Amino acid sequence: MTRLPLHPFLFALYPVAAMLAFNAADVRLGEGVRSLLLALILAGALFLTARLVVGESRRAAMATTLALLLIFSYGHVYRWMGGLGPLGEALARHRYLVPAWAALMAGGTWLILRVGIDRSAWTQALNVAALALLILPAAQIAAAEQEHRSALAAGERDSTAECELSPPAGEMPPDIYYIILDGYARQDVLESRFGFDNGPFLDELKRRGFYVAEWSQSNYFTTQLSLASSLSYEYLDLNQRQELARTASREQISTMRIHGKVRRSLECLGYTIVAFDSSSPSSTWRDADLFLSPERHGDQILVLAGMNAFEAMLFDSTAGLILSDASIAIPGALRPDTDLPMREHRERVRFAFETLGEGVPELASPKFVFAHIIAPHTPYAFGPNGENVDPGGTYTLQSEEGSADSAGYLSNLAYVNAAALRAIDGILAGSSRPPVIILQSDHGAKGAADVRLANLSAFYFPGGEPGELYPTITPVNVFRIVFNRYLGGRYERLPDVSYFSEEGSYSDLVIVPNPHAAEAVP
């Protein structure tokens, strides 16, 4: 069996599987099925063509594998060269790289056809190598899918749990809105690092009755860990942080995000759970009582419709990048629709802000509304007035937030400010009783710990008094305060601790003290 020329098909699957595994926190396997099928079809078409030309299966398979390696590596090499400084940027041009790739293909094919080789041994070796490459990403994908299924199943297991909360008898519990603005930096960071005065926006929040925590920090530096903690109002088990990369720990963290104690406690009280589509599995509650999402067109598996975000990212990592960059010069019917994920992203963001203010307040109470809005985080797709902006490149799942002088970040921020105020005005005007509104970011902007952890925290409480709120609050204590104040909770305030990693990993977290904590003790 190992002597059959299977390696072209295995090598064709590997780039797709590797990208699925790398983005396992942000994409489900179903979004990559079409790519896996198309990769197999591409391998089959190339193999049949080579077989007709060469006339012998094993040499044709080797030529096919070479072609696939060149096709799937093109975009990676192109972008790697562009990051090598001035010389790399000068050489990272299709007019240079395409001839180089053609020469490699021609030279490699000549060697395969002309040089005497043991075709049987090479076929066996390539089969084994391709299969070995697939093992790790396949295991990672399987673990991620198991994590996701376990998180969803946790909701069913805990649906009969005893309620920990007991709201005052005879009183209707308030609606609770938890709105997460991804990557929104704190005012002092916006001023010092971006040169942006966010005071007018914060003043408008205060004028509407919000309490703004002046020196708030997030508990963790990533969305996944931050939401897991805030939605369960507890810290992760950091005595086991070396285990966070393992399946069991990832399942626990995923469960804390999707079926955390906040959601379970409110479901137990009869709250309707309303959730918005963020596009990220780490914060998309598809099993909510009401899941709100704009109509989507790019996630079909077998229909040749526009690309979803994963497919567009994969496409631009291959020689498909040539077609993307040359789209102006080719007919529209042949032009790859790599812009669809960006359009869908804009639609999701706009839909969330508009629906929060116009449709959700009229829903029956009590309700818990969870909206994780991926803005002002990349992609920087909005102008300050909400107009469409082309940030360049393809919508990706692993984008960074940008540098401290990013005009795109500030444009996104200006739009988010205006859209958030409109949504809040709609919520306040459309609610029959004053709601609780938590407007918060999961973390700050890209940068060192003092930038990354400096998040936005603003709160609207019925009655207008801040009560137990304080300037240096962290997300882990927010729902403890809300539940104690309105739903009969008896939770102690936890120490406000923030964790950061210079390497961006979960296994080397260090505590970052809040320098303002001493002067802001409530």
Please give the chain's pLDDT, 522 residues, in tens: 556 899 999 999 999 999 888 877 677 787 888 899 999 999 999 999 999 988 889 889 999 999 999 999 998 888 888 778 787 778 788 888 899 999 999 999 888 887 776 778 888 889 999 999 999 999 888 887 776 676 666 555 554 456 888 888 888 899 999 999 999 999 999 999 999 999 999 999 999 999 999 999 999 998 889 999 999 999 987 554 444 444 444 556 777 788 889 999 999 999 999 999 988 877 889 899 999 998 654 444 334 456 777 877 788 788 887 776 665 555 555 555 667 788 889 999 999 999 999 999 999 999 999 999 999 998 899 999 999 988 876 666 555 554 544 888 999 999 999 999 999 999 999 999 999 999 999 999 988 999 999 999 999 999 877 889 999 999 999 999 999 999 999 999 999 999 998 876 776 788 999 988 765 444
Q: How far apart are the first and last CA of the chain?
A: 71
Quick one: CA dihedral 214, 215, 218, 222, positive or negative?
Answer: positive
Triad 33, 35, 41: Cα angle to 5°: 105
Which tokens hold the place of 367?
Answer: 């309700």
- CB-based contact 265:344 (threshold 8 Å): no
Torsion of CA 466, 167, 177, 146, to 10 degrees: 130
Mean pLDDT of the chain: 84
Which tokens hold the place of 500?
Answer: 């950061």
Closest CA to 201 of 369, 356, 353, 424: 424
440: exposed, middle or buried (Cβ count in 10 Å: 0-12, 13-18, 19+): buried
pLDDT at 464: 75
Which amino acid is located at 211 in the chain? Answer: Y
pTM to 2 decimal places: 0.79
| d(C-alpha 453, C-alpha 517), whole Å | 14
The DSSP line for 250-299 is HHHHHHHHHS-HHHHHHHHTTPEEEEE--S-TTT--TTSSEEE-----S-
Which tokens hold the place of 275?
Answer: 């959730």
Closest CA to 176 of 270, 278, 282, 293: 270
Which H or E run includes 155? helix 119-157
Closest CA to 71 of 125, 148, 16: 16
- CB-based contact 137:13 (threshold 8 Å): no
pLDDT at 247: 42
Which tokens hold the place of 286?
Answer: 């598809």
pLDDT tens digits, 188-242: 999 999 999 999 999 999 999 999 999 999 999 988 899 999 999 999 875 544 4
| Strand partners of residue 459 | 211, 438
| d(C-alpha 388, C-alpha 346), whole Å | 8
| Strand partners of residue 460 | 437
Residue carrying structure tokens 């897991």: 228
Residues 6+ apart with CB under 8 A from 422: 353, 354, 357
| d(C-alpha 114, C-alpha 353), whole Å | 63
In the sheet with 176-181, reading across from the earlier edge strand, the strands are: 211-212, 457-460, 436-440, 176-181, 367-373, 272-276, 290-292
Q: What is the DSSP letter of 477?
A: G
3-state secondary structure of 373: strand
297: exposed, middle or buried (Cβ count in 10 Å: 0-12, 13-18, 19+): middle
